[in-house]
Structure formats: C-alpha cells, structure tokens
Amino acid sequence: MKRAGILFPALLAAPQIFAQAVTTAAPASTSTSPGSMLQVMVGLILVLGLLIAVAWSMKKMGAGKHAAAGALKIVGGVSVGNRERILVVEVADQWIVVGVTPTSINALSTMPKQEGVELSAVAPLAKNFSDWLKQTIDKRKADHINNKPNTPGMDNAH
C-alpha cells in the first residue's frame, strides 16, 4: 500500500506537469487548431495509458499481499456442510482449529504445532475448484476400476 501512496500523488500531478509544459512550449492562442486538438488527445491517451499500466503492474505485484504471505499456513481442513468448514491454521509454532461459515470465523481450539503428525486424517484443501474436481474424478475412476462404487445411500451388494 505504500507504493500506492507514492504513485497516486504522482499520477495526480502528471496532468498538471504536462499541461504546464504544453502551455510554456506553445504560444497562447484563442482558437483551437487541429494541431492543438491532436496534442491534447495525445496527452490524454498518454496519461490514461500510464494509469492503466500502473494499475496493471500493481495487480501483478499483488500490492499489499506480500506483508502477511508467510504468517499463516492452512494445514488442512474438512467440509462439515454446504458452506461450513473446519480448518487447521498454523500461526508461528501454534495450530488453531477454526470454524468457518459464510458469516463468521470462530477459533474452536488451539494447540502447539504437531511435529511428525500424519496429516492424512485431515482432508487437504484443494488450491482451487479445478484441482478439487480433478481429484474427485480420479478417486471415482479408481473406485470404479476396483469395482467399488462409491455411491452414498446405495447398497453395494447386488
């Protein structure tokens, strides 16, 4: 955010500096000629292009996201409803069990960081939907190949 605090005043001052340079370079005239209109349009396009370039570069750099990048780590989680999850979050040398709903986040328990604990009991979080979908499809294909249909509520005996 510090970068935005520096760049924003510079962007606000750019049109004034450009206009000052144009007025000192061009003689004062009362009529608008095609050349002066072209000069104004080029200046406008230049300023808008600069604004778009700065916004794009700030988006690519992830302004403000780097400060807390290493502070939190999601160790694992499990879905307990359509929109509810229980997560294990690592902060420094401590694990915090957190309940997450669409309207709130509540700390359920805290414990020291567990060294050498097998995390297979905790379902790993998919980084995004496509990873989760691929993982689910692969699991169902493996179950189908091994003749173990994994259909909830259905009887597996034929």
Q: Where do the structural domains in the chain lie, given as residue ranges?
A: 2-61, 72-117, 126-158
Residue 133 has pLDDT above 60, yes or no: yes
Alpha helices in the chain (DSSP H): 2-25, 34-61, 129-145
Residue 122 pLDDT level (bands cut at 50, 70, 90)? very low
Rounded Cα gap, residues 28 and 142, in angstroms:
79
CB atoms within 10 A of CB 126: 14
Q: What's the rounded mean pLDDT across residues 25-34?
A: 63
The predicted pLDDT at position 102 comes to 92
Residue 43 has pLDDT above 80, yes or no: yes
Report the SS3 class of residue 5.
Answer: helix
* pLDDT exceeds 90 at position 83: no
Q: What is the pLDDT of residue 69?
A: 58
Q: Report yes or no on whether pTM surpasses 0.85.
A: no
Opening angle at CA 90, ends 87 and 96, nearest 5: 55
* 98 close to 107: Cβ distance less than 8 angstroms: yes
Nearest-angstrom CA–CA distance, 81 and 84:
5
